[in-house]
Chains A and B, each alone.
Chain A
């Protein structure tokens, strides 16, 4: 075992500890308390980077165990190629959106409350991703849910209460399904440790296994906003303040990450159940297309991006449903790419709302000549969503499709899967459709009245936007930085 010096624990706990401090300091410091909030986030990120370095050097996953309740098992934090990439993404986006918040959030007071909840939200996300004890996982999931609910309900746009309530109820029902799955798992296997489950669950009957998997996946599909369980997402995204939406898109993908863990780490037997995986694939396909079409119908950039997130979660689910190591890698890359590009895009939409007064595409136009850096970032964000090289989204899409096609042609030809995958590939054109159309309506053409009156881009809001775009390019040019740590996971798959 590598001595990780409690790196993982520190990364999760740092924002948690800082949260009340920020709350108290908020009174006195006002807006500037955001810089204080940045410290624990940066600390988290550096811990995670150090952990990533250790994983790289020793080429083995990190695991840290802390005794907890006798009944429910220990707190175990686990950092491998999969959870590591996801956690690092969350930490990075968390920092960027925090910097953005400092200028974006225009509050008379309540700075302390905002940033302390923001930190709790980050702790919740990191904890969810790094925990392999299902009970702890669930606790962090609830922390994430409650803190984000409050962030929307208090600091959101006009219709925030309704949206927040809808979000809360939906995800809470999803969480209950997950809880039921966790309860059943515990009562049938006697453990909550995901890493122990494959050996403990080997003897389970097919019926119980299917029930557990269905409950958990159902709950996670709600979290991911997969059709037809998606309707909380557009409202929640649109009503959230822009930085929260930015980090939210990383949070939504956690459902997908957890689904990967459930299927591939906890109960790998599910992989062999063709019909179950095919059902997921169909859901993925429908979500991709449905979200894409609805994005095409939107005028408001923020709402367009929200529907685009639904569609992208469909892509991720396609990778999850691929039952192959390549597809899993693809789903992970889609997660990272989607989080980064949506972070950039949502921050841009928020910036436009502030600098121009609207992010309605019909009232924009001709931005390319006025806000050059923003325009380039917007372009990069959408191109990555489209799966365009050399951006990270390209590799994500390539690998999810490759994974699914590989499974379709693995031992014999699985015609339905092959056909559905090809349909998915062709229909990914919709992303190019809504993306380029949004780009055209906002960046090109004559400058609209609103754009002409616009002020300059606030630099502090621009920096995180550009940083996410640059990350998309760097990771896209050399994705091996993310993909080379997946070896342990690949061992699960029959070759």
Chain B
């Protein structure tokens, strides 16, 4: 059997890290060094495999390429009778897989330094490699069920790695707890929270997938493209409903409203985990899913206007999340939590762009914007998180208030962070500038002005919280500390990533048009984006640069130059204090979930146990047994001990039996 090289690469790139994960405990038997080295090498191999897919982008193959094997058989079943394991290669999956594997490899290298000496490293490497495998499986899966398996797999790894320091010890308070009282949580709590919240979204996704399977009888992405025609007329309306339900999974995984509350608390995990799972890759899975369903929803909306509801939902969820999360980042007191809110907010941008693209005549702009932003964000946010790991280690605390003045102690970290922050803000010519520009123009060209304004306000907030973060961490602080630069094995990865965010920016126009040509081939429209009026083209970058200035200048004055103490300003105004409280308490959404759902569920369970199970059900049991005893007391009187009474009873019983049998036989 001959196998195409691309098929080999596609299968190998996720099977290799599975082998890597499974071999970790075995390599540990040899020595710890071998184990660490082995884990990194497996992720390197995975990266090489995905890089092997890149040349396909420049060839003129007929997309999509598929390689399938039969897997789960349910002979005779009307739906899902055969679930195949299949790899689906198209420009989207190839680009995504490469983003994942390259960033993963760099983070694995960083981990070798960052996690050195930790007693649970076997577990760490196992779940890291297992994560990479599941993430690539999710990306390359060619049907919804297989994707769901990768999807849940990454969720499991996320759970295990957030709660990595499962001891929850109080000594770790400054390092790996999250939040401040009353919303401070230990790692194992955060892992559980992440699991349950994302699982809630996933269950909607499962329901949606099954509804699709039942109505259109297929779960594979290429076949879904034109599957709307196969659905019976009176069930057509279920298709958009299923799409929106599947969106539930994306909302959970990508930490969008209303399921965003798990991600800020996921920062309890090691910084490398936050970089890999909670910034660069897994949380993008939702965006990827929407991008994957995008052509399908677009096709369906041609015959079914209701299918556009999918795009509206995506766009508004994204826009609101972008704004709300960015505002929370402004007040956050923890370094990694600033980055977490920022991640949520930036993913909101990506969602917003995808939604707007579906509602616009210029589909490609928004679609490319989203994927381009995803790439950029993966690079600069990974750099920021990795650097944050060094910073927290150097400062000995996760709180911004314990940092300050680190600039002179860790110059490489400082400049890396600075570069990546510029990309995050969207300063020209960094990568973030170009993709954010595209995102904003996509909303504008789809005529969604309210969304555009929200995006712009978010840009202001982004500039503000980013500069605030830099200022609080690196500037001021006259007191001398013992902080020192991170070891080379740690700073090289984030320096590379930070430099990459600049390089991407420098070649952005090229990359952009490359993405356009590549992605246009999987969208139902092949028209080149008609570049609109030039006034529009200039308006968006201008607006976004102004937005940066509006946000950055006050932050620079307050937190870098420190011309006035921001605390004093806040203390002076009552409304500022109230606002800060509102932002720190996350608009009380988190508190609402605990008070309205989590705690009441547990209370309810106890109430049911006490009031219903023990009182009513057991009460009935007791009543019956007491009744039975009373009855037996009565019956006992029949037991007269006289033989003839018994004989009469026997005959009567036999008669009844005979009558019954005769009646039955008749």
A residues engaging B (CB < 8 A)? 166, 183-184, 187-188, 228, 230-231, 290, 293-298, 324-326, 329, 366, 368-369, 383, 386, 388-390, 394-395, 398-399, 401-402, 405-406, 408-410, 412-413, 418, 421-422, 425-426, 428-429, 432-433, 436-437, 440, 443-446, 478-480, 483-484, 486-487, 489-491, 493, 495
Contacts and interface: CB of A to CB of B under 8 A. Distances in A.
Given A390-B149, A486-B74, 11 more contacts: A231-B617, A293-B609, A294-B609, A326-B79, A388-B156, A406-B79, A426-B204, A432-B195, A433-B196, A483-B74, A490-B76
B235 interface: yes
Contact of A409 (B72, B169, B214): B214
Contacts, number: 166
A428 B188 CA distance: 22
Interface in B600-647: 601-602, 604-606, 608-609, 613, 617-618, 621
Nearest to B170: A446
A487 B75 contact: yes
A429 B252 CA distance: 13
Contacts of A486: 74-76
A119 to B, nearest CB: 32
Given A188-B664, A293-B605, A436-B192, A490 B166 contact: no
B617 A493 contact: no
A483 B211 CA distance: 22
A325 B74 contact: yes
B153 interface: yes
Nearest to A165: B625
B301 interface: no
Contact of A231 (B73, B79, B618): B618
A246 B661 CA distance: 42
Secondary structure type dominating chain B contacts: helix
A82 to B, nearest CB: 13
A446 B79 contact: no
A366 B167 contact: yes
Interface string B483-504: 0000000000000000000000
A444 B190 CA distance: 12
A413 B199 contact: no
A483 B72 contact: yes
A293 B602 CA distance: 8
B148 A425 contact: no
User: What 7 pairs between A and B have smallest CB-CB spacing?
Assistant: A490-B76, A187-B664, A444-B188, A296-B605, A297-B605, A487-B75, A444-B166
Contacts of A394: 149, 152
B358 interface: no
B478 interface: no
B80 A399 contact: yes
Q: Which of A166, A389, A413 gathers most chain B CB within 10 Å?
A: A389
Q: Which of A295, A436, A487 gathers most chain B CB within 10 Å?
A: A436
Given A402-B79, A433-B196, A297 B168 contact: no
Given A389-B149, A429-B199, A369 B167 contact: yes
Given A184-B664, A389-B152, A402-B213, A297 B609 contact: yes
B200 A429 contact: yes
Given A294-B613, A405-B210, A389 B72 contact: no
A394 B206 CA distance: 11
Contacts of A421: 207
Contacts of A478: 71
B195 A436 contact: yes
A445 B602 contact: no
B157 to A, nearest CB: 12
Contacts of A489: 76
A388 B617 contact: no
B601 A426 contact: no
B156 A401 contact: no
B234 interface: yes
A42 B192 CA distance: 40
B299 interface: no
11 contacts: A231-B621, A293-B601, A326-B79, A412-B234, A413-B235, A418-B211, A425-B210, A426-B200, A429-B203, A483-B72, A490-B75
B20 interface: no
A413 B210 contact: no
Interface in B577-620: 601-602, 604-606, 608-609, 613, 617-618
Contact of A406 (B203, B214, B604): B214
Contacts of A444: 163, 166-168, 188
B469 to A, nearest CB: 31
A187 B665 contact: yes
Contacts of A296: 601-602, 605
A402 B207 CA distance: 8
A430 to B, nearest CB: 8
A228 B73 contact: no
Interface string B644-666: 00000000000000000100110
A291 B377 CA distance: 44
Nearest to B604: A293
Contacts of B163: 444
Contacts of B606: 297
A325 B77 contact: yes
Contact of B169 (A230, A368, A401, A446): A446
B145 interface: yes
Given A187-B661, A188-B664, A293-B608, A422 B77 contact: no
Q: Which of A290, A398, A446 gathers most chain B CB within 10 Å?
A: A398
B188 A329 contact: no
B194 to A, nearest CB: 10
A230 B613 CA distance: 10
Nearest to A489: B76
A327 to B, nearest CB: 9
A493 B75 CA distance: 12
A479 B79 contact: no
Interface string B71-97: 111111111100000000000000000
A401 B206 contact: yes
A329 B203 contact: no
A422 B195 contact: no
A294 B72 contact: no
Nearest to B618: A231
Given A297-B608, A480-B71, A490 B77 contact: yes
B67 interface: no
A447 B661 CA distance: 67
A483 B74 CA distance: 6
Contacts of B200: 426, 429
Contacts of B608: 290, 293-294, 297
B19 interface: no
A488 B73 CA distance: 14
B550 interface: no
A440 B192 contact: yes
B373 interface: no
A110 B206 CA distance: 50
B361 interface: no
B238 interface: yes
Contacts of B148: 389
Interface string B143-168: 00100110011001001000100111
A402 B72 CA distance: 14
Nearest to A447: B167
B285 to A, nearest CB: 15
A368 to B, nearest CB: 6
B76 to A, nearest CB: 3
Contacts of B517: none
B35 interface: no
Given A294-B608, A294-B609, A446-B167, A493 B78 contact: yes
B211 A409 contact: yes
B215 interface: yes
Given A326-B78, A389-B152, A445 B166 contact: yes
Contacts of B78: 324-326, 406, 410, 493, 495
B149 A484 contact: no
Contacts of B234: 412-413
